[in-house]
Every structure is written in structure tokens, then in C-alpha cells.
Structure 1
């Protein structure tokens, strides 16, 4: 099949480009339950050019401010949202900020960026590369899905006056390639299961690759605990943890009543990472019906969670995220795939923010322990990669952007 080339911002060539991290063999130690992203590519995105990063069971991007660690997570989350079917303008509300600094516009005033990833699973390694025009109009101008040495899907902008791209996908039947227009504000890979009949061997390969990529991308929870919003009481009944973890107390009530084993592990984690003795975690129902978290201290003593320091609240929220799953987290997992065949990826920008070394060590140990079953992966950023390297934590892939 001859690949269609985008009109602008050409996609990088297919092929292995992974850069090894601190623990390049970490990815082989855990067998994921379902498809997972194993490489993130930032061909031209923000401060990154020609970059490819390994993604293991626990991956940490480290480096000083401005090194691009947060933008790497931003690109990962953007791919996840596109894989979930979100429109382009919602995924990139400020697309100009994603264009590499110093990138000049072409004769038509067009500038853009390129991102991509590789997802491993039953269909083998599948690569997705996306070229996005940021100016003058936000649109996807090129996309390529490859697997098994074949180009399975390409899209290209053929008529700038139309809000579509020309797509071509592998058929391997009487007609070797199927061509059709697709909207330029949606990821074509996410639309393929609705467009491909699955009658020929080639169509089945396309569907398997597209579904693998979509499942790997959709099972993502971006977590940004906000301690200042976690101190106030919250309404009862809001039992799905939100991105900012501000409804922590309501989720604690749910885990206490519905997830006894995991709640016990959360109590143990709180004891390991919070000051003083922690014997229980629960909630107190206030006269107005709202809830606030409470830490049991033994001997009948208790501490309202709102009195904890920022680091302790962030630690507690992150431990809760690692110990729960899609049924408790506000994540758009692939509903048509059984949870036992999915692997949740937690994105945590500023993982070590306000945490001391002991708390970070406990969280990494918890992530590795929970992830050993293949149902959880953690991708985060840290400001002090040297501290992580000094601990020599086996199984952690450290990508030091400051080197």
C-alpha cells in the first residue's frame, strides 16, 4: 500500500526509534493485562524535537524547569483523549503553545506539531503518528497507523477548503485499499471500528491494530491532587475520584464500605507516609450531611484530613489513586473491553511535589507492587531525578531530560 503523505508537517518514518531509559529491561518484568503504550514520540512538540521515550510499568520524566517533562505528559494525555474520541479543539485549547519554539510558518502561514506512540498487545507493536496544523486553522493534516510491517491507515489533507482529510486503509481484498473522507477534527484511528467492515483478512488486521491502540490510550487517568481543595467537606454520594481529588472524603467512604482489602492497604500506606501513627481511615458525616475525611490515631483519637499538610494530602490522594481502579476513578475506560483485560495508566505531573523522600519511595514501591499484576502503570514527572536514581529503585524507567 502506498502511504498518503500529509500536505504539511510530514510524519516521521516508521520504524523503531526508542531511547533507552535507566532501566530498559523494566518493561519485560510485568506482563500487562491488556494493550499498553510502550513508547511516546514527540517528533515536534513544544520544546521537543525528534524525541522518543520508553514507557515502562513505572516511568518518571525528570529534569529542571523548562526541560519539557510536563509537556511530555501533556502530549500523552492528548493522545489518550484523541483515542477516546474527543474533538481536537477540546484536546488542544491553546494549540499555538504546542508548536515547537522558533518553528517558522510556511508560505501559507501554516505551523503545526507532531506526536505519536507505540502500543503493544495481541496485535504486536502498533505505531500511531499524528500531524496537527495549529495555525491558521486547527486540524489534523496527517495520520499514520502501522503494524506488522504494513501501513494500515494513512490520512492526508487534500483540500484545505474542506473540513475533511482523505483516508486510505488496508483492505487486502478485491480492492487493496479503501479510500474515504474523514473529519479533520477527530483521530481517524478511533473512527476505524465504525468504518471498517472486517470482512477481509486485511480489514481484520486494521481493526485489531486500531482497537489495540484505542484501548491502550483510553485507559488513562490524569491525576493532579489539589490540597487546597481537599480540605473542605464534600457532598456525600460522589464516589468517583476526580482529577483534582477534591472529593477525597466521598471516595474514602466508598472504599471503606466496598473495597475492604484495598482500603486496608490504603490505611497501611497512610501509616507509612503520614506523620504519627495511622490506625484507620474513615469519614465523619457532618450535621449538614457533608463528609470530611478522618485519620484514626489509636486510643480513640482522630485527626481531620483537612489538618494534614499539603504533602500528606497529596501522598494520601496518590496512594488512593494507585490502589483503586476504573470503577472508582473518573476515567473513560474502554467499556466494551472487560476490565480484566485492561491496564490503567495513571499520569501524575509533579509526582514528587511537596513530598519528602520517604513518601516518594513509598508511592513508587506501591505502584510497582500494584502494577506487578499488570493492571496498573504509572507515568509521572519529578523535579529531582538524581534523588530517584540514588534510590536505585528496580523496575522504574527514569527519563532524565536534564542530561
Structure 2
């Protein structure tokens, strides 16, 4: 594996810079499926490149799993097929136990904060170890002491009359997300633990996994379906809602669509059909409108990605940290098979759009591509090469 990290873009914005927004800057797959001792540096825009079987989708799946755990989901909700996450050829121990290990680093106001998680997949699915560290100091550590009990023993930094506080925590959820309920915040040490845990949770919470499915985007969809789904099936309904919510962002979407779709584009709109459904259309500006049903796979995938990059958590099916102001959060988009059906012009236009949004601190974009030679040396783009 090799990484190409060119200089960050110099685009400025009056909004808070990325540096004060918590964000994940490294993904670690210590032992996960086909990955062992792997670490991926993540920039505002990161392309995971490699042939089929290199583990690009696996890396994105691990990132999404951490995000869901950071959002408070139970481990059995996150890993529906945990055995598939166990490293290749891993053998069970004397107690028939097998598992996997993943982690990440989140940068933000507290500096780099590391989270490492050990999950037992067999015979029972549970979190058996967790460590939260900052500047070399262990802020939280958990370990499974008694396999017969459904809990782990936790110890967190206190720096008061006692250096650490010990207590049991459930083995089905991430301890980092439970700390605000257990730590009083009375000592400097406790406040440091809470700040680091909050930074990690905020960095992980706002993640949107996106893999548009053109076959479903062509059909009319029910109105009022809510926020955009990961497969972008309800794109037309979301357009119906967003077209009038923010004229400036919609104008940017129209401009981006014109750069990636064939023929002139003067508007992107949705048309109610009178039966409770709505369909998407491209306005050609000459009285002719092209329904989404007539667009190619590449055009629809391009349009969906452009909409995602130009919107935010209020439009997408994500669960951001509601107690943290939006100005302090960054949305991370995970795009598997990003270059599928896209021609060179479309993938370049979308990457440039991701770089522009990333420079403002709104968006971080992690995408899997078969080949990233076209993006090498692009300002604001980090290319990680994975070998099968």
C-alpha cells in the first residue's frame, strides 16, 4: 500500500476551517477480513485505489461500522455477518473464539484522538476490548474479564483522588459513546476524557454511505419519502423538496449537472404525477424536458453524487450529533465503486466538486476506485493504493 498526499488546497472560506471540525484522519484495520496491520491516511478527499479483491469495499465497510458504533448502535445491528469480518485463515483459540480489530484517529480541537476496538465474532458477538487514547495517554480502556458475564471491565482516566475509575460497561456497545453518562466531569482528567470522547463521536456520527442505483432512480417514487437513501432511489422526491429550500445550492447543482450530462441543462426538477408519486426531469431550456427514465447509468450516478456533495445531513439519511452545532460538524461521504459507469469527464468534475466542498470544511469524501492514475497529483486529493 502506498499513499500520495499532495498539498492541501488554499481555498478560504468565512466559515469555520476544517481544523476545528472533528474528522477522521486515519482508518486502521489491524485485523479485519483480508486486511492485517493496515492503516489508511484520510484527507478531505481520499481515493482508495486498487483492482478487484484489493479490499476497497472492505475498508469502506469498516469505516461505516465504526460510524454506526459511534452513533450508539449495538454491535449485532452493525455486524450482521460478523464471521465474514474475521481475518482470512484466522484459527479459533482454545475457547473457540475468533474476532477482528479495527480503529481510527479523529483530529479536532483536542488534537489526534485514537480509538481501537476488538470485537469477538465467535462464539458470541461482543466487544471485548476498547482503547481511547490522546497524546499517548490512555483515557479509556476496556477488557473482557469474565466470559460468562455480558459486560467488560472499564477503566477511565480521572486524575483526581484516584488516577482511574473502574466500572463495568455493557459488551454490546462502544464504551466511548457511554462515557457522558458515566463520567461526572469534576476533575481536569474527567473533562479531558469527555472532550476526547465527544470529538471521536462527532467525527464518526455524520457518515453517509452512497452507492446510487440507476435502475431504481428512473421510476417515479412516493412523495414525502424523507431524506435521501444510500442507493438514491428517492432522488426525485428529494429534489422536489430541496429545489425550493436553497436556491443557491440548487443553482450549483444545475451547473454541476450541466457539466456531467449530455446536452444543455437549464434546470433539474421534479414533477408530481397526481398519484402520490414524483419523477425527476432535466429541463433543456427549449421547452423540452428529459425524464430520468431516459438518462444513462453514468448520468444518473453522476447526478446523485453531485446532489450528495452539495447538500448536507438535513437532506441525507444520516444521524449527526444533534447536540453539536452544524458549523462544528463535517459530513463524510463513503462512495463504493465511485467510478462505476462514469466517463473521465464525469469523474473529474465530481472529484473537483468534492475538493471544493472539502476545502470549505463541509464535506469529506472517501471513495473506492479501480484506478486513480487520473487523480495523482491533484491538489486536495489523497490517493491510497491497495494491493490484493
Q: 1:27 to 1:335 in 2, by over 3 A?
A: farther
Corresponding residue number in structure 2 for 1:189: 176
- Where in structure 2 are the equivalents of 1:104-253 lying within 5 Å? 104-253=91-240
Could you list the structure 1 runs, at least 4 aligned residues long, displaced by more than 4 angstroms after superposition: 27-30
Q: 2:346 aligns with which of 356, 359, 373?
A: 359
Corresponding residue number in structure 2 for 1:255: 242
- Where in structure 2 are the equivalents of 1:311-322 lying within 5 Å? 311-322=298-309
Secondary structure of the 1:258 match is coil
Secondary structure of the 2:284 match is strand
Corresponding residue number in structure 1 for 2:378: 393
In the superposition, the TM-score normalised over structure 2's length comes to: 0.96
Shift of 1:289: 2.9
How many pairs align? 383
Matched, 1:55 2:37: no
1:20–1:54 Cα contact (<8 Å) kept: no
Shift of 1:402: 2.9
Q: 1:70 aligns with which of 42, 47, 57?
A: 57
Corresponding residue number in structure 2 for 1:23: 5
Shift of 1:25: 4.1
1:163–1:183 Cα contact (<8 Å) kept: yes
CA distance in 1 between counterparts of 2:210 and 2:94 reads: 41
**Tell me, which stretches of 5 or more residues in structure 1 are unaligned?**
1-18
**Tell me, which stretches of 5 or more residues in structure 2 are unaligned?**
none
Q: 1:98 aligns with which of 68, 85, 92?
A: 85
Superposed CA offset, 1:183-240 (max 9, x none):
1110000111111000001000000000000000001111121111111111222341
Superposed CA offset, 1:14-65 (max 9, x none):
xxxxx86211544998841510000000000111110111010000101001
Q: 1:239 to 1:139 in 2, by over 3 A?
A: closer
Q: 1:374 aligns with which of 350, 361, 372?
A: 361
Q: CA RMSD in A?
A: 1.5
Secondary structure of the 1:85 match is coil
Matched, 1:402 2:387: yes
In the superposition, the TM-score normalised over structure 1's length comes to: 0.92
Secondary structure of the 1:257 match is coil
